[in-house]
A and B are shown apart, each in its own frame.
Chain A
Amino acid sequence: MPSPRLSRRHVVTGLLGLVGTPLFVSVGEAGSKTLYVGGARTHDGTYVAAIMDEAGMVVMRQPLAGRAHDSAVAPDGHTVVVFARRPGRFALVIDARARKLMQAFEPAEERHFYGHGVFSRDGRLLYTTENAYETGDGRVGVYDVKAGFRRIGEFDTGGIGPHQLSLMPDGGTLVVANGGIMTHPDYGRRKLNIPQMQPSLAYLDARTGKIVEQVRLPDAQHLLSIRHLAIDKAGGVWFGMQYQGAVEDRVPLVGCHRRGEKLAPIEASLGLSARFRNYVGSVAANRDGSRIATTSPRGDAIVIWDAHSSAIVREGRLRDACGVAGTDAGGFLVTGGTGRLWDTARDTGATTDIGWDNHLRRIEG
């Protein structure tokens, strides 16, 4: 019987076997250029990490062993780590400038990724949300970048089902969205504790893992799973939620939390409930943090907020819209699972030949 360690090494070797063999569609010019990276599905049903330029020209497709979720961009702007979607266990390091897969790594035993991660400000550490699934506790995995993404430790997130995490503007605090939903790889993606879920937003000292602040919604709103985050220019933590109750219930879906304050959704987001079908797929800030975009693939809808006034300033529709990232023009690029794109600043669309997955990141390739 093969030991689990050995079989895991097989998987890593398998992934590394793909190093240097990305399928180039077109090779970009050398030098810095704005690009976007996201997970995607190709027409033959295989999964890739894809990089495209602002016009929607796909310049790199890195084959993956399974479906990806989000990626983390290093401070250099072009080193990207693409994470497996839960309950996956792969992370791939891609140099977007060289258009090259550099490395693959995995979490510790009895852990899987939730699909999100973030680099420390100096780029020396990578933090990822993980599931310690035998106990069901949320973890932040800490990886030493220079040591080849060696896992050097982990923090407790103070909750179940941590999803997205971000680095606060102080550079020393992580904010984690504990979605509250327990899953176990033996049961696939099945949600195991809906009646008991307790989502929260937790702030962790990025050096020690100490929980320095943790806030929850009132008990009556415990079915609102806090999933996705973006930070505005004033340090407000915008969060998007996914409601686990009936689709016809009317619930708020978006909020902005400031340290030391109570956790409360934005009143106006109650009005999105029907259109968003109680589901926010992605949250992103534009380049200067003055605007926040929220997307709903279930509602085929995009809503953009003014970060200062919390007012809705723009709305749009795109089939299966989910991935969203800030553009150089101050707006957003939105991707759909159909392959369609929407550039909000230029109000232009484009169509790619791949279906874009949940999240999109701006990079400099």
Chain B
Amino acid sequence: MKTLLALVLAFLSATAPVRADVPDPKRDAAFVALIGRAVTNFIRPGYERFANEAELLEIESAELCETPSPAALAATRRQFAALVDAWGRIELIRFGPVAENNRYERIFFWPDRKGISLRQIRRVLRSKDADAVNPESLGRKSVAVQGIGALEYLLHGAGSKSLAGPKGTFRCAYAGAVSRVLHRVAMEIRAGWAEGAPFPTRFLKPDAGDPVYRAPEEPVQALVLAITQELVDARNVKLRAVLGESADRARPKRAPFRRSGLTVRYLKANITAAHHLFVVAGFMDLLGADDKWLEGSIQFEVGSALRSLDALPGSLDAAVRDTDGRQLLTQATINLTGAIRAIGDYYTDRTGLTLGFNSSDGD
């Protein structure tokens, strides 16, 4: 009977009237404070770091093109890894400046099931397409030939060793142009989130008359959704899709950053970032003392998933075909499910941040 009552009460709270009907200044103030922490402690530093790594990559690749050598290629590849890591830690933010002008896709066009990128990049290389070595014209070309994905192929794909010598001139110029466009896009996003810029102003101070964020709970919902969506993507798209149903049906080619061997590092960056945002924005502050245990539960699930990834024997390619490797990866998906439920279901339910059934994920 008690359970039934609890269920009825839970449902009644879920069907509460439109938020504007019941003003709650204290709750709104807590939301506004949380949004401020998310922007200051996570979003701005995340894009700052991404822009800095992109700048360093632009410098490294320019040096590589100027004086090609195995050492210069290695340095450029190292900087590429740093850029992938920085992107992996901020890609969960899919709204605001990154959503404008196809910036998200221009940074990382993935997943690309039909292999459009590979085909188009190879065509550019074969034809020595002059538009690809000029950042202006490259920026106007298909998203499939720009961004981190294109750069990975240029730095790590077939023929990439030519970059260390004189034969790689065109390829290097193309990689240099991609780096420069990436840096430019990263700077645009950083500027778009800077203090006083239009988007963060609205994000930080929602207003009933604003079409995007009408009430303080909406940016908070956007942030919770960003966290859970990133964890769901890590589990479904980046792990389960690669694992397949069995070792002989594994699809390692589906793994992002497989060519550069950065898959696990990138995945860990994604998971760490989702948890980091939850912590540094102070999401736990919205919960009462009864729910404090949730913090430890999320910490445990995320920590376990990361430990499983750390324990992988060798590359992901090898791991998905190996019994121990598959077990670890499966365990990581189980822990991710735990974290997704804790934040996406329990936390949103307890804080009343549940999204509208129809509006949250439309069709």
- The smallest C-beta distance from B362 to any residue of chain A, in angstroms, reads 6
Query: Is B8's beta carbon under 8 Å from chain A?
Result: yes
Residue of A nearest to B106 (CB): A195
**Alpha-carbon separation in the docked complex, A337 to B16 (Å):** 11
Are the C-beta atoms of B245 and A1 separated by less than 8 Å? yes
Given contacts A85-B363, A187-B241, A358-B358, contact A277 B211 (CB under 8 A): yes
Query: Is A274's beta carbon under 8 Å from chain B?
Result: yes
Number of interface residues of B (CB under 8 A): 38
Query: Is A322's beta carbon under 8 Å from chain B?
Result: yes
Residue of A nearest to B113 (CB): A184
Number of interface residues of A (CB under 8 A): 50
- Chain A residues within an 8 Å CB radius of B357: 41, 297, 320, 337-338, 355-357
Query: Is A246's beta carbon under 8 Å from chain B?
Result: yes
- The smallest C-beta distance from A133 to any residue of chain B, in angstroms, reads 9
- The smallest C-beta distance from A239 to any residue of chain B, in angstroms, reads 15
Given contacts A44-B7, A337-B357, A340-B15, contact A279 B362 (CB under 8 A): yes
Given contacts A190-B233, A319-B18, contact A337 B363 (CB under 8 A): no
Given contacts A43-B11, A115-B363, A188-B232, contact A320 B105 (CB under 8 A): no
Are the C-beta atoms of A357 and B114 separated by less than 8 Å? no
Per-residue interface assignment for chain B, residues 12 to 52, with 1 indicating a CB less than 8 Å from any chain A CB and 0 otherwise: 00111110000000000000000000000000000000000
Are the C-beta atoms of B10 and A195 separated by less than 8 Å? no
Query: Is B353's beta carbon under 8 Å from chain A?
Result: no
**Alpha-carbon separation in the docked complex, A210 to B176 (Å):** 48
Q: Which of B7, B15, B111, B143 contacts A187 (CB 8 A)?
A: B111
Residue of B nearest to A70 (CB): B363
- The smallest C-beta distance from A205 to any residue of chain B, in angstroms, reads 27
Are the C-beta atoms of B356 and A297 separated by less than 8 Å? yes
Q: Which of B16, B18, B211, B362 contacts A274 (CB 8 A)?
A: B211
**Alpha-carbon separation in the docked complex, A255 to B111 (Å):** 32
Given contacts A188-B237, A246-B99, contact A337 B359 (CB under 8 A): yes
| B-contacting residues, A140-181, CB 8 Å | 163
Residue of A nearest to B254 (CB): A186
For B233, B245, B362, which residue has the most chain A Cβ atoms within 10 angstroms? B362
**B→A interface (CB under 8 Å):** 7-8, 10-11, 14-18, 99-100, 102, 105, 111-114, 142-143, 211-212, 232-233, 236-237, 241, 245-246, 248-249, 254, 356-359, 361-363
Can you list 18 contacts pairing A with B, beta carbon distance less than 8 Å? A1-B246, A86-B363, A186-B241, A186-B254, A187-B111, A187-B237, A195-B142, A275-B211, A279-B362, A281-B358, A281-B359, A297-B359, A298-B362, A300-B18, A317-B18, A338-B15, A357-B357, A357-B358
